[in-house]
Structure formats: C-alpha cells, structure tokens
Amino acid sequence: MARTHNLGFPRIGAQRELKFALESYWKGQSTRDELKAEGARLRRRHWQDQAGLDLVPVGDFAFYDQVLDMSFTLGNLPERVQGFHGDALDNYFRVARGRSAEEHAQCCGGVAAGEMTKWFDTNYHYIVPEFTAATEFRLDASRLLEQLDEARAQGVKAKPVIVGPVTYLALGKAKDDSDRLALLPRLLPVYAELLETLAAQGVEWVQIDEPLLVTELDADWQHAFNTAYHHLKSSRVKLLLATYFGQLAENQYLAANLPVAGLHIDAINGRDDIVPLLNLLPSHKVLSLGVINGRNIWKTDLDAVLDWLEPLAERLDDRLWIAPSCSLLHVPVDLASEHTLDAGITSWLAFALQKLDELKLLATALNQGRAAVAAELAANRAAVDARRSSPRVHNPAVQAALAAVTSALGRRHSPYPVRAARQAALLKLPPYPTTTIGSFPQTAEIRQARSRYKAGELDEAGYKAAMRAEIARSVREQEALGLDVLVHGEAERNDMVEYFGEQLDGYAFSQFGWVQSYGSRCVKPPILFGDISRPRPMTVDWITYAQSLTGKPMKGMLTGPVTLLNWSFVRDDQPRSASCTQLALAIREEVLDLEKAGMRVIQIDEAALREGLPLRRSQWKDYLDWAVESFRITANGVADETQIHTHMCYSEFNDIIASIAGMDADVITIETSRSDMELLDAFDDFKYPNEIGPGVYDIHSPNIPATAHIVQLMRKAAERIPAQRLWVNPDCGLKTRQWSEVIPALTNMVAAARTLRAST
C-alpha cells in the first residue's frame, strides 16, 4: 500500500491572515498573545486541510522563516541580540527585521537585521544563519514541541519537519571566514538531542530536509553527510531524509546509503534518478517520490504519472510513499477561492489543496486500481487535453517573431565608454549621483483607491486623478530631498510583475493566489499560460506625466523579462528560454516607446536573474546565455544617449559577475547593505566595466541608516570601483516602507552623497 504525506504547507493563510496579524503586531496594534493565537488558529486549519494523508508535517509553520526557526531551535543567535531579554519571539523578529513590535523599539532599540537571500532557486527568502569559529549550539525545542502538542490534541498523524545539519551549515555564513564544517562536531550532538527529545514524545518519523544533496558537492561536504548521519543513526526516531528542487545525479549513491529509514526525491525534477536509485537503495528503506509539482500550479497529468508509477508500486509495495515534490509553501492555498479567474484557465490549475486531492487520487488508484477513481481520472484527462489543444495558448504571430530573432537585437550601437561620455554630457549629473530603485510607499490612500477602482466604486478618471496626485507627491518629496535622478514612485502598480502581466496577452491572474516571499511579504505570481505579446504601451503615460513635473531626469521603470519569467507560474509545454524571449520582445517595445517619449534614463529590473540559475554549476552556462541575451534584446535597441539601468536584489551573484557584466547595462544597482558590502568582493578580481550603485539603505528593516554609516559603506565600495562610476541608492524599492521612515533615511543618504562629493 502506497502511503501519502506532505513536506510542508503554505503558512500565510488563504486570505493572508498571517501577513495581517504580523503587521498588526509590529505596528503595536495587537498583542503578542493575539499574534500567537492567530498562528495557532492557522495551524489548526492547515492540519484540517491535510486530513486524509497518512502523515502530516508539523513544524513547517513559521512566523517569519523556517531557517530562522531552526537557528533558534539550535540556540544559534547572532551576538548582537544575545543581550536582549523578554519574549523569545521579540528576539526572533529582531534578527528577522532589525526590531520587533513598535512598543519595544524605545526600550530595546534596533539592531542590524540578519542577511536575507533566496532559498535555493526559489523566490522565497530565508534569514542566513551566522557563524564564527567560536559558535556554540544549545537546544531549544520549545517551538517544535508546542506545535507537536497542538497537532496531537487535534488528532494529527504528525511528522515533525526540520532543516538537516549539513544543509543548515551550508546555508549559513561564517562572519570571520572560518570553516563552517568545523562546527559540525558541535552541531551534531544538538541534533541528536533534538531527535531524542522527539522520540521521548512518541514520534515515529521525522522529516529532515537536506536539499543540498541536489547540488554539486566537493569531497568535504560529501564526507559531512556521512559523518552527520552516522552520528544520528542511533536515534530512536525514523528519519525521512528529504531532497528536492533538482536531481541527485552523482550524489545518488551517497544519498541511497546514508543510514536513514527513508529517502524522498523530487520526481518532477529528478525523474532520471528513480530507476538507478531502485538498484542502489537498501531493501529495508522507504522511497518517497515527489510526484506532484510543488512549485507550479498546473494540474498533474494523472494518467501519465500512473503509467510510470504503477510498476514502481508493484516493486516497492509498502516501501513506496508519494508526496508533492517539495513543500507547498511555493504555491497558493486554494483554487476554490477563485471567482474572477477565467473558468477555462481555472480548469487547468491546481493550488495546494487541489494538489493534495491529486495525491490522494493517485494513492487510491495505486492501492485500489484505476477503476476506483475512473470518473476523477476522466475529468483530469479532459482538462489536460483541453489545455494542450487550446488556441488561447498558441499565437502564430508571436511564434513568427520568435523565429525572426537574431543576435543583432541584443547589441548596443557603441561600447560603454562612448555611451558613458554621451550620457554624461546629456544628463550632467554630479559625482556620486543619487537615485532610488523605483517604488515609494504604497500608502493606505493608494490601496484604498485601487480597491475602490477594482470594485467599481471609483471610475477610471477618478482613479487616474488619485494616482497622479500620488505621483506628484513623490516628485515633490524627491525634489525637496535633493535626489539627482527621480522616479515616478509606481503608485499605480500593485506589484512589479503582476502590473506588467496584467497588460500582456498570454497572462492570467488569480484573485487570492498569494505566495510568501519573506516574512509578511506576499506576492501573487501571474500565470503565464500562453504566447506573450504587448497590445499597447504600459507605462508611458504615467512616466511622461511625472517627467512633466520636474526638470530633473526621470527614470522609466520596467520589470525585465527574466524576472517576469522567474516570478510567474510559467507554462510547462515549451522551454522557459522561449517564453523568456517572448517577454523580451514585448518589453523591448515598451523601452523603445519610453525613449520615443523623451525618457533618457530607463531602468529594467532583473531582481530574479540569479534565482533562475540552475543549482548545478555545470548547467549554468546554458541558462545564463539565454537569460543575458533576453535582457540584451530588451535593453539594446536604444540610442547611445539613453542610459539603461538594471537592478538586482538579495542574491549571491559574485560567481556570475562576468555574465552580469555581459548584460552591458550602463548602471547596475545591487543589494549590499545587509551583507556589509560583502557582495563587492567580486570586484577584487573582476574589473566591472560600467557604473554601479551598491545599495546602502536596507529597506527591509524599519531602522534609519545613519549618514556616517552610508559614507563608510560607499568608501568601502570606492576601494574596489572607481568613485566616478559609483551611484548612491537604497538596496531595493521603498513600497513596503512608510513615508515617516523613507524621508529621514533618504535625507541621510543624500547628505552622505554630499559628504562624499566634498572629499573627492
């Protein structure tokens, strides 16, 4: 009998209840007890949603991030918060965002927030564990035990979920450049103690996540896996070691022979691993197969899955478990909530709850035969076939444009030094020019106007007037601050991807398809279901209006093709590279229209460039070739005098800096504030040829950066990059902040630029 289980469930709630509870608490509008009660309510509901599975995850719920939860479970707190007393949750939020609730800001103040970066190749951000050579670990299992007690009181067949020790070390950073693996002997006894604590609670299975196994490992990290799991093999609980997001490939033998009771592999991305693993896996071990895509929203072709799964079920019998490929954290909660999404497209989709239904159908078909679910399989077959044959998916004109693409589309007229001289003569900017990344606060007034407009309570003229008023406010504030290159503030935009997707043919949009990006930040990825085209200009009217209000240069603000791709739910019936080139052609049209309208500075954000990078270095070149070429197609139809900017945030890109240089943007702005300019280490060996703005203001924290600190960061940057090629800017857009935070922060940033100019 095949068993069913889940690796993790979305924690934000179908209506983003966790988001609103967190933000209420942080603003001092609700109490800590109220926040905890909302967390408990969400957990209860989510366990109910997973009823019918043989094992349900416990411990996958986090108030901010599961890796940060693991750091607190292991007693690995940064030194800067160790002196704080009071509720552990407040310290938790200090690490996550620099401070806890507003009510604690006066008594405890702010600290530097933990560094944040992408969870493998997803758009989820985790808080990076911090280590030094002196790091010690001490178990605090209270969070996990409390959730286990709650689950048992509800009758849940609980499977605790934890991040594995080797992946945990690999995810972290040694702040003193010490060897992270040297900490493994100190870390493993704490893991052993945690497993023994769970065994004492009667736990049978523990899911221990080691996605690091789908990456290329050197001998030291391979040895670390053997060391870790031989140390933990005496535990009284059974370990299900979970890998996901890719193939085991050369790590198959290592994974199959670790002394654990079961192994989970991602059968969506790692299908080629399955047959070899059957010959490697000892006969007593469970093999869990991730047969439902946990990262995309298309219905599973259940017939196709059963065709290859049934022979495996016969061979493995009760050693076969089935599950989603990874945690369902990466998909929305419930398709049944959708009432505005086109019915035809809805029939092609499955969100988290529907994916669990698919999983149960597969289990019934395996255990009782397909006849037991014949009607359900027939309905699934009809939906899958309808999508394949739909004329809405395929546009001959777009396919013809794709076939006509040549390398000439991706070339600028002149090399950067020629362009730079022409741009300098036109723009007349001072040394250390200041700008922001694009967005300004999305105020309650903006959100209310958008909500009323969508509800039909505000007509189009009234909505445009409200947005123009907010754009005018942004321009006034920037002029008063003394910024050099202005932005229109993006008042009219709900999200940097959704806004553009809504205006491109080939996209569809959910109403409640929210997915957690980090903490309380949720995004609603557009659904890229068909060939992409741009029916009409998308941003020109808004940005030309903003330019009419000022004599200073105004940046046209666009989202680039790679980010539009990587932050969408993307069709799976053609290569991602083809969809990306279609997006590049559409955004190129917008770039040219902005230039025609008089914009001489255009920013094309590629925040997600690195996010799409394959987890295996051997596969990087192919991705980077088409991703960089897509950006170049978008950006490079303009005249030399038009300055092209791009922006990237919260990613490690030191190892792809040559490809970033190959994008040939005139100016790149990047996140460096949380990493204390560590990301600029790449420029010790690589001489970046163009201009760069290292972000000096951490916009994800409410803390206000001091002028002296910004000056210090920029002087550190000037040690690697000539001062005449440096810009001063925040590390990301400001839409999530309040004006009361933005004004003093940008005041200090502009003051820092003036100090730097005075010393040049």
Which of the residues are catalytic?
700
The amino acid present at 84, given as its one-letter code, is F
Cα(520)–Cα(22) distance, integer angstroms? 7
312-351 per-residue burial string, b: 16 or more CB within 10 A, e: under 16: bbeebeebbbbbbbbbbbbbbbbbebbeebeeebbebbbb
43 φ, ψ (degrees, to nearest 5) = -60, -45
The gap from C-alpha 175 to its chain's centroid, in whole angstroms, comes to 24
Cα(341)–Cα(124) distance, integer angstroms? 25
Tell me the CA distances in angstroms from 386 to 390, 532, 589, one per residue in order.
Answer: 6, 19, 32
* Contact between 331 and 304 (Cβ < 8 Å): no
Any binding-site annotation on 437?
Answer: yes
Tokens of 652: 């490690």
The residue whose two tokens read 């709650």 is: 150
30 φ, ψ (degrees, to nearest 5) = -145, 165
Q: For the chain, give me the number of helices (H) and strands (E)? A: 27, 22
Cα(455)–Cα(468) distance, integer angstroms? 20
Cα(228)–Cα(282) distance, integer angstroms? 19
Any binding-site annotation on 17?
Answer: yes
Dihedral angle sign, alpha carbons of residues 228, 230, 232, 237: positive
Any binding-site annotation on 284?
Answer: no
Any binding-site annotation on 611?
Answer: yes
Any binding-site annotation on 490?
Answer: yes
Segment holding 241, helix H or strand E? strand 238-242
Any binding-site annotation on 541?
Answer: no
Cα(612)–Cα(74) distance, integer angstroms? 31
Tokens of 32: 């800590």
What letter would DSSP give residue 133? T
What letter would DSSP give residue 439? B
737 φ, ψ (degrees, to nearest 5) = -95, 170
Any binding-site annotation on 605?
Answer: yes
Any binding-site annotation on 637?
Answer: no
What letter would DSSP give residue 609? T
Q: C-alpha angle 77/83/89, rounded to 5°? A: 60
Any binding-site annotation on 107?
Answer: no
SS3 for 260? coil
Any binding-site annotation on 118?
Answer: yes
Any binding-site annotation on 108?
Answer: no
The amino acid present at 436, given as its one-letter code, is T
SS3 for 643? strand
Residue (of 292, 327, 449) closest to 12 by Cα position: 327
Q: How many CB atoms lie within 10 A of CB 715?
A: 15
Any binding-site annotation on 18?
Answer: yes
* Contact between 68 and 78 (Cβ < 8 Å): no
* Contact between 101 and 25 (Cβ < 8 Å): yes
SS3 for 144? helix
* Contact between 440 and 489 (Cβ < 8 Å): yes
* Contact between 362 and 309 (Cβ < 8 Å): yes
Any binding-site annotation on 148?
Answer: no
Any binding-site annotation on 620?
Answer: no
Any bridge partners for residue 292, and if so which? 324
* Contact between 672 and 678 (Cβ < 8 Å): yes
Any bridge partners for residue 321, and if so which? 3, 288
385-410 per-residue burial string, b: 16 or more CB within 10 A, e: under 16: eebeeeeebebeebeebbeebeeebb
Contacts of 406 (CB under 8 A, 6+ apart): none
* Contact between 263 and 241 (Cβ < 8 Å): yes
* Contact between 752 and 707 (Cβ < 8 Å): yes
Any binding-site annotation on 464?
Answer: no
Any bridge partners for residue 521, and if so which? 518
* Contact between 248 and 255 (Cβ < 8 Å): yes
Binding site feature residues for L-homocysteine: 437-439, 490, 605
Binding site feature residues: 16-19, 118, 123, 437-439, 490, 521-522, 567, 605, 611, 647, 649, 671, 732
Binding site feature residues for L-methionine: 437-439, 490, 605
Binding site feature residues for Zn(2+): 647, 649, 671, 732
